[in-house]
Structure 1
Amino acid sequence: MASDPRRDEDLDPETVFGALDDSACREIVRVLDEPMTAKEVSDRADMALSTAYKKLDRLESAAMLEERTEVDLDGHHRSQYVIAFDGVDVDLDEERRFVVDVEPTVIQPDDRLAEMWSQVRKET
């Protein structure tokens, strides 16, 4: 999954509205309370794995989700997904077009370090 759409000032409102309108996407946001693989998401959200992948991609395109790689000492790496937003603002610009801003989750450096240390301890 390519560039970070949150850095794009032209985040398409339809992409965000579509994700918000999708009940499966909303369920993923509800259950994704910690980093999870697509399989874990599909199990917790009670949906087919193929559906989970599609919805995870949709949420990532809407700047609401972040994919991270969990590094495993045995060389097998896997993707984990985390919620990457705290809110969505919808405004009108001077031409009365919708402007959507997905507010990214702010992770404090201490929390990021604690998360990385936790991963290191799991590996050893």
Structure 2
Amino acid sequence: MVRDPFADEETPELTTVLDALDDEDCRDIVSVLEEPMTASEISDESGVPLSTTYRKLELLTESSLLYEGVEVRADGQHASRYAVDFEEVVIALDEDRAFAVDIEHSARSPDQRLENIWSEVRKET
């Protein structure tokens, strides 16, 4: 099933977001992302081993805390680049007195939206 790259992202599960925020390696990764970086660059900057970095990047993107874009290269060896994708995370009680999470995302540029479409195409092929 192909996901609609123009659709608003679904809000992640509260536990997924809390797991990411509670993880020291995840916090270290977020703290070094002043600009988009590859997994290798993130590993070097944060001091988190590369194999661990990949797992933490997956958790952070599932949590909607990081944005994964694709750097298209002429040689065909495209690389994922990651960037912080939130301004604010709010955890509150909803009208049913259940916990709810709301993530305030930064507006995506046209280039980021195009990267998102390319990422979805790559996942489906």
Identify the TM-score tier after normalising by the shorter chain.
Answer: 0.7 to 0.9
RMSD: 2.3
Larger Rg: 1
Q: Which amino acid aligns with 1:77?
A: H
**Residue of structure 2 in register with 1:69 after alignment:** 70
**Residue of structure 2 in register with 1:54 after alignment:** 55
Kindly state the Cα deviation for residue 52 of structure 1 after the two structures are TM-superposed: 0.3
Spell out structure 1 runs of 4+ moving beyond 3 A: none
Gaps of 5+ in 1: 117-124
Residues 1:8 and 2:26 aligned together: no
Q: Which amino acid aligns with 1:8?
A: E
What is the aligned length?
A: 109
**Residue of structure 2 in register with 1:96 after alignment:** 97
Of all paired residues, the percent bearing the same amino acid is: 43
Gaps of 5+ in 2: 116-125
Residues 1:31 and 2:3 aligned together: no
Alpha-carbon separation, structure 1, partners of 2:103 and 2:36: 20
SS of the equivalent of 1:91 reads: strand
Kindly state the Cα deviation for residue 108 of structure 1 after the two structures are TM-superposed: 5.4
> Which protein, 1 or 2, shows the higher relative CO under an 8 Å CA cutoff with sep ≥ 6?
2
